[in-house]
Structure formats: C-alpha cells, structure tokens
Structure 1
Amino acid sequence: MTSDTRAGILLMTATTFVFAVQDGLSRHLAETYNVPMVVMIRFWFFAAFVILIARAQSGSIRAAARTSQPVVQALRGVLLVAEICVMVVAFVVLGLVESHAVFVCYPLLVAALSGPILGERVGWRRWAAIGVGFVGVLIILRPGAQVFSPAALIPLAAAAMFATYGLLTRYVARRDRAATSFFWTGCSGAVAATLIGIRFWEPMSGPDWGLMAVLCLTGAGGHWLLIRTYEVAEASAVQPFAYLQLPFAAAIGLTLFGERLDPAVALGAALVVAAGLFTFWRERRVARQ
C-alpha cells in the first residue's frame, strides 16, 4: 500500500479536532446529567459502529470476534469505559485545559511501563525524557503549593488507565488483528457501560438529546478518521500530530467554557509534550536501527 504522509497528517489533524469537540460536548452534557449515563449512550453508538466496521473488514461478526485471549480483550474494553468516565469527571471538575495538560503525559507512562510489563528495552535517553515529562506534570500539579487540589489527580489517574489500555493493546496485537481488538473494545465496553450506566438513567431534554447524537457521531467519526489515517500513512509519521488534541481542547475550554490558562499549566504541558515527542522520536530511531 502506498503511503501518503501529507494526507495522513491532515487526517490526524482532523481526528484530533473531532475528538476535542467530543470532549467539549462530554463536558457540557456531564455538567447536567450523570457521567455513567452519558458514557453508556456514547458506547451504544460506538458498539454499533464497531460491529459495522468488523463485518466490513472481517466478513462476519464471528470472524471479527475470534481470539485466543478473550479475557484480556474484554478487560481492555472495560478499562477504556472506566478511563472515559474518569476523564469526563475531570472535565467537569477541572475543565478541558488543565485536564488535557495532565492527561497528555500518558505516552510517557506507556514508555515507562513497556519495559517491566512487555519486556521492551527502554534506554537512558528515553528514561531521561520520561523524567523531564514528569517534572512537567509536577509543575502542573504543584503538590507543595497552597493552590494544589486533589482533584488534579483525576486526569492523572485517567492517563494511567489509558496507558494501561495502550499496553494491553500492544500485548493482544501480538496474536490478534487490529479489527479483532477494535471489535472487542466496542462490544465489551458497551456491555460494561450498560451494566453501570443503566442504574443512573435520567430524563434528557430534546435539545440535549440532539447534542448527545452529535457526541455519538463525533465518537464514531473520530475513530473512522483515525482508521483512515493509519490506512494512508505510517503510524510513525503521523503519531506526533496526535498532540494537537491538547491545543484544540484548550481552545474550546478557553472560548466556550470561560476557562483560563495558568502559566504553570502552560509550562508544564510544554515540557510534557516535548518529552513525549522526544520519546517517540527515540523509539522510531531505535526501531530503524
């Protein structure tokens, strides 16, 4: 397959923008309705989308679901649901700007944990970058300052959960196809979200149902764009542009929700992103060697 890096970059940019819009919609709805219900409805639509993709790529649902590691695959879906719930709570409590500034450290967590969990080699340069990134996180959290709030740990917990999800995805990819992992993520996630969210059902107004529909469409649309991104370009060429979700989400938080950008948050986020980009560049160079 011919790689088109320019198209891949444009698609990844569009993907991050759609996901940032999704985060803004999630925050708005979660300020009025409970988080488990919002995430449950979102996963219902996502599961339907996943099933359609699975049938198109694998020929049948049975073929898409075939795996020798169903427990780990199901655990991935449950973990993703939990991570999304925690992150949406962070949006409501802290806002989009600060939540994303902390959450953006998850690639560093993946790099740090890939050695002990997956047996991958992490050299001293990447460990140094990971250390710089976590200095950035400490600048954002300011644990010794009077302004520190324990709520700032919420997006950090979400980042740890998403990093674990990413590591499990790498693990199952050793024996399962991407289509299989995608299928299990949507379906097991929808089951877990329903078991939790159905207990918190509450009436929703007509206009908010419209916003909920847009939220579901952005979720499916974002994942479709992400699939297209990796179809037209190499992941190593477009992955750094995934960091664009941070400025997109911050712009939505600043303009639509009246949030403010604290200088310490901006400095810390810059360090985290720089460390993440260096870690990614180093991984790519080692892989080439």
Structure 2
Amino acid sequence: MTEQNTSRGILLMAIVTFIFAMQDGISRHLAETYNVYMALMVRFWFFAGFVLVVAARAPGGLRRATRSAHPWLQVFRSVVLIVEVIVMVQSFVYLGLVESHAVFACYPLLVAALSGPVLGERVGWRRLVAIGIGFVGVLIILEPGFGVFSPYALIPLAAALLFALYSLLTRYVGRKDPTSVSFFYTGVVGAAVVTAVGLPYWMPMTPGDWGWMAVLCCTASVGHYLLIKAYEIAEASAIQPFAYLQLVWASALGLAVFDETLEANVVIGGAIVVSAGLFTLWRARLRSIGKA
C-alpha cells in the first residue's frame, strides 16, 4: 500500500466521521419530534434502495449479492446492527451527543476483549491491560458512585456492546463472504426488520423535517460509500484510529447546536478511553505485520 493511498484513505475516513457525526445530530433532532422507529424506517428504505442499485450494477448482479456462505449469520448480524442504531439514537435523546459518543468510543476495546471467544484470536496481556484501563475511563464518564446514577447512562454502553458484536460478526462472515454480500444483507435485512417494527408508528412529518430526512438518507449512502472506498485504498489498521474523529465532530455539534455542556469527567474519561483504544489498535497492527 503506497503512502499516497494511505493518505487518501485517512482523508476519506476523516470525511466519513464528519458525515456520520452530522447524521447523529439530524437523527437526534428527528427522534426528539418523531418516533425513532419511523425515522429509522424511512432512512433504511433509502439505504436498501441504494444497496440494491449497487448490487445490481456489480459483477454477478443481485444473484451474487445474495449468495452467502453464512446466510443466517448475515441476517442475525444485520438485526444486531439495526438494534444498535435504535439504541444509540435513543441515547442521543436522553444523554446528548457528547456523553453518548464518549462512552460509545469504548467499542474497539469491546471488540478486542471479545475477539478471543468469538473469533478465537489471541489477546495478549498488554491489550488486556489497555482494555481494563479503557473501562476505567468509561466509569469516570458514567460516575456510578457520585450522586444519583442514571440508568440512561448505560444506553450508549449497550450500543457499544452491540456494535462490537456486529463488527466481530462482520469479520467472521468476511472470511468467506465478500464485502458486497455483507453490504447487501445490511441494507435489505435492516430495512425489512425496521419496517416490521416501524410501520405501526407512522406519523406525518413537516416539509422541513422531510428535508432533514432527505439529507440524512443521502448522506448515509455517501458516508457508507466513502467508508468502503477508504478501506479499499488503505489498510484498515492504518485508518481505523482516525474513526475517533467522530467523537470530536459529534461533541462540537452537541456543544454548538444542542447547547450541551462538556463536563470534566467526560473529558478525562473520554481521553482515557480513546488512548486505550488507540493502543489496542496499534497492538493489533503490530500483530498483523508480525512484530508483536
């Protein structure tokens, strides 16, 4: 992989994190006014349409996109993702963008912790220590021993656990299924599941909010496309650390638009979580090149 391609991959990842952070802000706005199931249903309708168009134009067409070595695992993985999205959007409503993303940033640590039992990978003592330190950061953010602990604080932690499971399952099915197949199942199965849940909650939207919904749908497709391109032109281990930029963008949006506050415990805990996550990614990169 050339330096030029890696640089382009980093740039694309930075753009993707900005797009996803803006999506989180729009999702929070819509979820505060409309039922979260309905809003996600419309979003996944558009996403499923985008996936179908991409699959139809790819070599082998729709027939190839549906051919999986693990069809039921692909379905389960897609269900896990849609549940994670629903949980995370609820977290934005109850806790805001800043605290939600600060806690959610621990998901790479959960991936590292679960990669042993789920994928059979070896997790060394250094990564185990980093995982433990990272969860100390999560506890600092949640402050379970100070004042009245809110159960809402556990919502982004549940979302992080679900996304970690989704990531591990994606890596597992990726051993035999190409990215195009996983992408197809994510869009189509996600749309089917959220439609079954969301249709009873349909409610009219104002023209202005339909505009926001259109922006949300379009940016979702663009964001996922750019993410795929980033992983195509650069090694995942080289660009994955820059995914933490989403915490920066989302926090800035929460402070500027939604009048959220940046508490000292969130800053300290978030810094610990991100540092531990970056260390685990660095150790994973060393293992991939045979230096650890």
Matches within 5 A, 1:23-172: 23-172=24-173
Instruction: State the 1:273 CA deviation.
Output: 0.3
Q: Which shifted more, 47-56 or 268-277? A: 47-56
Match of 2:286 in 1: 285
CA contact (8 A) 1:58 1:179 kept: no
Structure 2-normalised TM-score? 0.97
| Counterpart-to-counterpart distance in 2, 1:221 and 1:268 | 32
Which segments of 5 or more consecutive residues in structure 2 lack a partner in the other structure? Answer: none
Cα deviation, 1:228-266, whole Å, max 9, x if unaligned, reads 111221212111100000000000000000000010011
Q: Distance in 2 between matches of 1:233 and 1:119?
A: 25
Deviation at 1:147, TM superposition (A): 4.5
- AA in 1 matched with 2:195: T
* In structure 2, distance between residues paired with 1:173 and 1:17: 26
Any idea what the Cα deviations from partners look like across 1:132-172, whole Å, max 9, x if unmatched? 10000000011111142110000000101111101111111
The 2-side partners of 1:282 and 1:147 are apart by 38
State how far apart, in whole Å, the 2-side matches of 1:56 and 1:245 are.
Answer: 31
Deviation at 1:55, TM superposition (A): 2.3
User: 2:237 touches 2:284 (CA, 8 Å); kept in 1?
Assistant: no
Matched, 1:173 2:177: no
Structure 2 counterpart of 1:201: 202
Q: Which amino acid aligns with 1:265?
A: V
Q: Give the equivalent residue in structure 2 for 1:272.
A: 273
Specify every segment of 5 or more residues in structure 1 that has no aligned partner in the other structure, as ranges.
Answer: none
Structural mapping, 1:179-198, within 5 Å: 179-198=180-199
| Amino acid of the structure 2 residue aligned with 1:76 | R
- 1:27 and 1:88 in contact (8 A); partners too: yes
Distance 1:256 1:128 in 2: 37
For the 8 Å contact 1:58–1:64, the answer to whether it is kept is no
Q: Which moved more, 1:141-150 or 1:196-205?
A: 141-150
User: In structure 2, how many angstroms separate the alpha carbons of the residues matched to 1:170 and 1:4?
Assistant: 23
Output aligned runs, 1:202-281, within 5 Å.
202-281=203-282
Matched-pair contact (CA < 8 Å) for 1:22–1:215: yes
Task: Give CA deviations for 1:59-82 in whole Å, capped at 9, x if unaligned.
Answer: 311111101211110111111111
TM-score normalised to the size of structure 1? 0.98
Runs of 4+ displaced beyond 4 Å: none
Q: Name the SS of the counterpart of 1:58 in structure 2.
A: coil
Indicate yes or no: 2:25 matched with 1:21.
no
Question: In structure 1, what is the Cα distance between the partners aligned to 2:99 and 2:48?
Answer: 30
46-55 or 213-222: which moved more? 46-55
Query: How many angstroms apart in 2 are the aligned matches of 1:189 and 1:131?
Result: 33
Task: State how far apart, in whole Å, the 2-side matches of 1:56 and 1:239 are.
Answer: 28
The secondary structure found in structure 1 opposite 2:237 is helix
Does 2-11 or 106-115 show the bigger shift?
Answer: 2-11
Number of equivalent positions:
289
Given that residues 137 and 273 in structure 2 are in contact (C-alpha distance below 8 angstroms), is that contact kept between their aligned partners in structure 1?
A: yes
The percentage of counterpart residues that share the same residue type is 62
Checking the alignment, whether the CA contact within 8 Å between 1:133 and 1:276 is kept in structure 2 is yes
Considering only aligned residues, what root-mean-square deviation do their CA atoms show, in Å?
Answer: 1.1
Return the letter of the residue paired with 1:158: A
